[in-house]
Structure 1
Amino acid sequence: MKTRITLLLTLLFFVGNVSFAQQDEECMTKLSIFHEYVKAKNFDAAYQPWMDVRNKCPKYNTAIYIDGEKILDDKIEKASGAEKVNYINDLLKLWDERAVNFPSKTAKGEYAAQACQLMYDNRQLLNKSDSDLYECFNAAYQLDKETFTNPQSLYTYFSLMVDLYDAGKKPAADLFNKYDDVVEKVEDEVKNYSENLNNLVAKEDAGTALTNKEEKFKRYYESYLSAYDQISGSIDQKLGDRANCENLIPLYQKGFEANKGNALWLQRAAGKMSEKDCTDDPLFFKLVHAYHGLSPSAKSAYYLGILKDKEGKISEAISFYEEAIKLETDNFRKADLNNKIGLKLKGRGNYGRARSFFREALRLNPSNGRPYLSIAGMYASSANDCGDTNFNKRAVFWLAADEARQAARVDPTLRSAAAQTAENYMSKAPTKADIFSAGNSGQVVKIGCWIGASVTVPKI
């Protein structure tokens, strides 16, 4: 009897394995069929074999979900009305299925935000309110902030908050907190992509050619940095004057006592007042000193420098700015501090010292071209003061153009504007006729005063 049972179990096991093997073979064949159709963009032909594999072997291969998204995107684009709604809902379902069947290959925040964006893009058809959509994005953000990185979705998330604030459904405190959340997230992503790009820029500067793979990564990093740069401007534009001093000061005055022991609240409040130039109000003084006393940091030292600036105590302000740089341990943020301090010195006309801070910012973050443009602008502004002859004054514009070209070379967000700036400076530099008249083709011209640099006259 025992032997018969063993034989029966063996037979069932064998039959089961044959069944699974046949199923796998069928799924493999149909997966190959629909994948080839997808590659040829024949999505209609791909649909049925894809659905067969999706239903029979949902764990067979991630191509079910990667190609399935393309197939359903095509269906959504071509459909309308109820049929389109069905395909949208099926795509949302597909992403849920992917999360169940391939959890390690499905970033929760990324796909949750993607689902919210799909609903937002079809909000009228799906009858979704701003509140519904905001709660969707907020849940995605809370679920997995690390992978909620899509620039468009980050902007949509914040835009919905502004719309709800304007409709009286969200208070000002929630609006400004969400602004800080999203801006900090964008800054984190910019830092990440900039650091990756910096490695490639450093390799190129050392004279080493990038591999094909590195070239692709470089374009990828530059693409995302351009996208984040675009939405940063859009986020600030969407916030507009809602975050003006008239709104910020009473809000933070009201919350100060309850939050004077909350370093994050104090830092954000001081930061927002600094951004919006509300630093003349006594509240800014209270915020900065409370923040620095509670949690001395690079940011608190920088804000103390702003206070000393306002008091006209320039040397003390510089001391605090330099302390901020020493306290900052992250090179990307240290570069940002150097650039901010350089801008303050530039605004005061202290060009020589400003350039030192700009050069340090470039050393720490070589893919940010803004310090190059600032240096170029200072050179151009100093042309009349730093040249001893008319020719040499105009020669300063060669230096300015070279700095602008450097900005265009390293920074994808400035490429077009920096190139145009360089052309503008070149139009003010000596012409071939001027060089011929001066008889100094190929010679080195020394530029004096704070610039203290040399430029070689182009050969004609």
Structure 2
Amino acid sequence: MKNTYLLLIVLFSCFTTVAQDKPEAECRHSLAIVDSIFSKGDFYKAYDLWTGVRKKCPTLNEKIYTLGAELLKIKADRAKVEEKEPIVKELLALYDDYNKYFPNNPVPVNMYKAVIMNRYKVGSKADIYSLLDRAYSKNPTTFENLEAIELYMKLYFEKYKSGDKTITANHILKRRDDLVGHLEKLSEKTPANKMANDRMIDAIEVTVKEVATCDNLDAYYGEVFEKRKTDTLWLQVALKGLSSNHCRTSKLYDQITQAQQNIKPTAQSAYNLGVAAYQKADFANAAKYFVQSAELEKNPNDKANTYFTLASTVYIGRDKAKVKEYAMKALEVKPDFSKSYILLAQQYGDAGSDCAKTDFEKKALNWLAAETLKKAVQVDKNKGGLDKLIRKYQEKAPTEKEIKDAKMSGKTISYGCWINESVIVPKA
């Protein structure tokens, strides 16, 4: 009798387990179908099927919530204005359920809720800021959404402007430093996002511009410089703050620059020292620091501009070979850097007898100047105004009669020395 009783218990347990597994298996199968349908672009069918899975198996797996969030965002975007609010509220509730059923999930739910609430004008600014603050404080490493970062700074600044006595100018500058430093870390983590992160840093600078005066920055950074002068990220962020707000003449700016250069040179610190050396007419050191800055720079546009500074500022009028070398380096980094072509054309046109053996060769350099300017127009359609200058160089080149007299029709002139280019003489 006892054995029969135990057997019944085992059979009942097995039946119960199978009964429980069946709906879960169905949900898993349905969720896979939702994913497939969604990937093919059939949003409405995917949404309808997903709704049933969510209700039937809320604890199945996290994909119910990550996929559901995407579906609801699309639904909100496509809805009429008057229909958006209930959809947004459903999305917010979905995020809450995500945290409820999967409390250890890695998704910054509060950050996403804040962004959605702001985008669709649901909830108060205080509620939105509170969500952002909790998300950033809990785990800054997952706070990567640029819209959220900008909103976090903007709402904090608005609280300050509204008269919140708990927030001072120094608090604003500290928040600015925290977020700029955070963005710098994100750029190191994912270099491909650096340009977007740099644009966000610029947006933050604009937000706090009213508070970020040179006097305020000097006082703020001066208070902590001695304690943080070995913190390379802090030095980098401080330099960026002083530079972007045109505070390069302050004594503190020089101290931070030198501290950064001594510990871990950056493109910014080397560039600053290059500027300082140039202003003292110390051209050798200016060149050394600008070269170092360009080599350390990761942003192609900034790298090209630094090489161009070497060509157009440090070496111009002093060393034509170096002018060409660094103008070409700028083009290697950024092939559409039209300023290099314009500078080179001017150098060729003014070369005189530097590399020319005859008067004909001297005048023929105007063809090289004109062709080089054409390259500037090819890479930058906004340089169409150069047409007049191109014609001017062409008019100064040898005439058809001069070509015939020199018996140079169709021949190639090769220039050595710093020019190191060839010109094909037009047939006459």
The aligned counterpart of 1:420 is: 381
Out of 121, 131, 151, the position equivalent to 1:156 is 151
The aligned counterpart of 2:173 is: 176
Q: Is the 8 A contact 1:386 1:448 kept in 2?
A: no
Please show how residues 20-419 of structure 1 align to structure 2 within 5 Å. Answer: 20-28=20-28, 30-31=30-31, 38=38, 39=40, 41=42, 43=44, 47-60=47-60, 64-77=64-77, 78=79, 84-98=84-98, 107-109=106-108, 111-123=109-121, 125-129=122-126, 132-169=127-164, 170-186=167-183, 228=197, 231=200, 234-240=203-209, 242-256=211-225, 259=228, 264-289=233-258, 295=263, 297-298=265-266, 300=269, 302-321=271-290, 332=298, 339=304, 341-348=306-313, 350-351=315-316, 352-353=321-322, 356=325, 366=333, 372-382=337-347, 384-386=349-351, 392-393=365-366, 395-400=368-373, 402=375, 419=380
The aligned counterpart of 2:358 is: none
| Letter paired with 1:176 | L
Summarize the Cα distance change of 1:255–1:32 in structure 2 as closer, same or farther, 3 Å threshold: closer
CA distance in 2, matches of 1:377, 1:11: 88
CA distance in 2, matches of 1:397, 1:100: 70
CA distance in 2, matches of 1:59, 1:457: 79
The aligned counterpart of 1:212 is: none
1:11 shift after superposition:
1.0
The aligned counterpart of 1:7 is: 7
1:450 shift after superposition:
5.0
The aligned counterpart of 1:214 is: none
Identity of aligned residues (%): 23
| Letter paired with 2:151 | T
Summarize the Cα distance change of 1:383–1:107 in structure 2 as closer, same or farther, 3 Å threshold: farther
| Letter paired with 1:126 | G
SS at 1:278 equivalent: coil
Deviations 1:88-118 (A, max 9, x none): 23313323544676789x6534x54332211
Summarize the Cα distance change of 1:156–1:436 in structure 2 as closer, same or farther, 3 Å threshold: farther
Gap runs ≥5 in structure 2 = 353-360
Summarize the Cα distance change of 1:30–1:258 in structure 2 as closer, same or farther, 3 Å threshold: closer
CA distance in 2, matches of 1:443, 1:135: 75
1:385 shift after superposition:
1.6
1:250 shift after superposition:
3.8
Q: Is the 8 A contact 2:327 2:344 kept in 1?
A: no
SS at 2:298 equivalent: helix
Gap runs ≥5 in structure 1 = 196-223, 406-417
The aligned counterpart of 1:453 is: 421
| Letter paired with 1:249 | D
Summarize the Cα distance change of 1:156–1:400 in structure 2 as closer, same or farther, 3 Å threshold: farther
Q: Is the 8 A contact 1:113 1:153 kept in 2?
A: yes
| Letter paired with 1:393 | N
Q: Is the 8 A contact 1:342 1:353 kept in 2?
A: no
| Letter paired with 1:396 | A
| Letter paired with 2:381 | Q
| Letter paired with 2:343 | M
The aligned counterpart of 1:215 is: none
CA distance in 1, matches of 2:335, 2:208: 26
The count of corresponding residues between Structure 1 and Structure 2 is 403
Deviations 1:406-428 (A, max 9, x none): xxxxxxxxxxxx54246555775
1:9 shift after superposition:
3.5
Give the TM-score normalised by the residue count of structure 1.
Answer: 0.66
| Letter paired with 1:12 | F
Higher RCO (CA-CA < 8 Å; seq separation 6+): 1
CA distance in 2, matches of 1:246, 1:396: 48
Summarize the Cα distance change of 1:443–1:239 in structure 2 as closer, same or farther, 3 Å threshold: farther
Deviations 1:29-65 (A, max 9, x none): 654675677556463x655542221122235466533
The aligned counterpart of 1:217 is: none
SS at 2:125 equivalent: coil
Summarize the Cα distance change of 1:127–1:155 in structure 2 as closer, same or farther, 3 Å threshold: closer
The aligned counterpart of 1:209 is: none
Summarize the Cα distance change of 1:391–1:358 in structure 2 as closer, same or farther, 3 Å threshold: closer
Summarize the Cα distance change of 1:60–1:108 in structure 2 as closer, same or farther, 3 Å threshold: closer
1:15 shift after superposition:
0.9
Q: Is the 8 A contact 1:249 1:283 kept in 2?
A: yes
SS at 2:64 equivalent: helix
Summarize the Cα distance change of 1:146–1:239 in structure 2 as closer, same or farther, 3 Å threshold: same
Give the TM-score normalised by the residue count of structure 2.
Answer: 0.70
CA distance in 2, matches of 1:36, 1:262: 49
* Rg comparison, structure with higher value: 2
The aligned counterpart of 2:355 is: none
CA distance in 2, matches of 1:192, 1:455: 48
